[in-house]
Amino acid sequence: MTSPRRRLAAIAAVAALALSAAACSSTGGKQEQQQQNSGGSGGNVASTPRYKIAMITHEAPGDTFWDLIRKGAQAAAAKDNIQLVYSNDPQAPKQADLIQSAIDSKVDALATTLPNPGALTPPVKKAVAAGIPVVEFNAGVNDWTKTGALMYFGQDESVAGEAAGARLAKDGAKHVLCVVQEQGQVQLEARCAGVQKGFTGGTTDKLYVNGRNMPSVQSDIQAKLAQDKSIDRVITLGAPFALAAVQSVKDAGSSAQVVTFDTNAQLVAAVENGSVKWAIDQQPYLQGYEAIDSLWLYLTNGNVLGGGKTVLTGPSFIDQSNIKTVAAYAKRGTR
């Protein structure tokens, strides 16, 4: 029997090959719905019926992490002859409205994140009750089985947080600042809680910032660092916030080092030049790809991955030991 780790490696390889078949492009936006016409890519396209699948996320404007999710989803849609409809809103009630809109439009299947289970579980259950197959990904690892979803793709954020905390302790950190860009999102809170649990080297503080206002993020981190010179590590929960923190450290005259969860092309470059020491990668491209491809497999062949358990896509560390390999993938837009 193939091991889960080998299976994920094989999936990642297929996903990377499928990217070349994706000819659709997209732009993000609040409550934006965009139909991705991926069938005419010129590559090998499935001969199965053309299904309409909605992907709904809590993407905030300007967060380039989601570009990788969408590229993965578009690649799978191109291969699978899927009409992909993407929409997003960082506010849970509005994301719930987008799920209801997908139900009303009678999509064949739905892929969604679950950052606020209290607000989003009811509409997901409505979709399931309406006979719409649902998979979830990226956010909601502890709650997805309660919604009626078939599968979940992502990382266990508590485990990832503990791994980050243990790494910080091993690195010799004494005072860690965990920066949260969106208060109340379960996956972000789990990350910081995990960091605190795994970090045995000293003190952990939490700083809430407004992740939709990057100048404010930068100034808030700078003020905290200027106020408390004992902070020697800043861990952020997203790549854009790590890059802001690098500037905050400079402006505050701090000696703190910056590490982060999640990546984008700019973050990979920052790890290369050493301004960010390491990052935890949950493989967002793979999450987007598998969310769509798994629904196609279910619609066309009744397949379900994971056996009722989370299909893990992370965590893994990106640092100086492997950055050259990751950078090569980042240049083509898949890491």
Candidates 193, 167, 197, 171; CA nearest to 180 is 193
8 Å CB contact between 198 and 164: yes
Q: What is the DSSP string of 278-326?
A: -EEE--HHHHHHHHHHHHHHHHHH---SGGGS-EE---EEESTTTHHHH
Q: What is the pTM of this model?
A: 0.82
Query: Cis bond leading into 90, ω under 30°?
Result: no
Q: What is the DSSP string of 6-27?
A: HHHHHHHHHHHHHHTT------
Domains of the chain, by residue range, sit at 4-155+282-314, 157-281
CA distance 79 to 53: 14
Handedness of CA 63, 69, 70, 75 (dihedral sign): positive
pLDDT of residue 121: 98
Give 59's DSSP letter.
P
At residue 21 the predicted structure's pLDDT band, cuts being 50, 70 and 90, is very low
Q: Inform me whether the pLDDT recorded for 62 exceeds 60.
A: yes
CA distance 99 to 94: 9
Cα distances (angstroms) measured from residue 284 to each of 61, 65, 97, 215, 245: 17, 8, 24, 25, 22
Report residue 28 CA to chain centroid gap. Answer: 15
pLDDT of residue 44: 85
CA distance 294 to 248: 41
Domain 4-155+282-314 has CATH 2.30.33.40: no
Q: How much is the CA Rg of the chain, to the nearest whole Å?
A: 20
User: CA 213, 330, 29, 104: dihedral to nearest 10 degrees?
Assistant: -130
Span 295-333, pLDDT tens digits: 999 999 999 999 999 999 999 999 999 999 999 998 888
pLDDT of residue 335: 87
Span 130-163, pLDDT tens digits: 999 999 999 999 999 999 999 999 999 999 999 9
Q: Inform me whether the pLDDT recorded for 178 exceeds 60.
A: yes
Q: Which long-range contacts (CB under 8 A, 24 or more apart) does 213-220 make?
A: 214/62, 214/240, 214/244, 217/179, 217/181, 217/241, 217/244, 218/244, 218/245, 218/247, 218/248, 218/251, 219/248
pLDDT of residue 43: 61
* Same fold yes or no, 4-155+282-314 and 157-281: yes
Candidates 120, 153, 121, 122; CA nearest to 136 is 153
- In this structure, which CATH number among 3.40.50.300, 3.40.50.1580, 3.40.50.2300, 3.20.20.140 belongs to the domain 157-281? 3.40.50.2300
Instruction: Report residue 45 as tokens.
Output: 């396209």
At residue 195 the predicted structure's pLDDT band, cuts being 50, 70 and 90, is very high
CA distance 28 to 168: 34
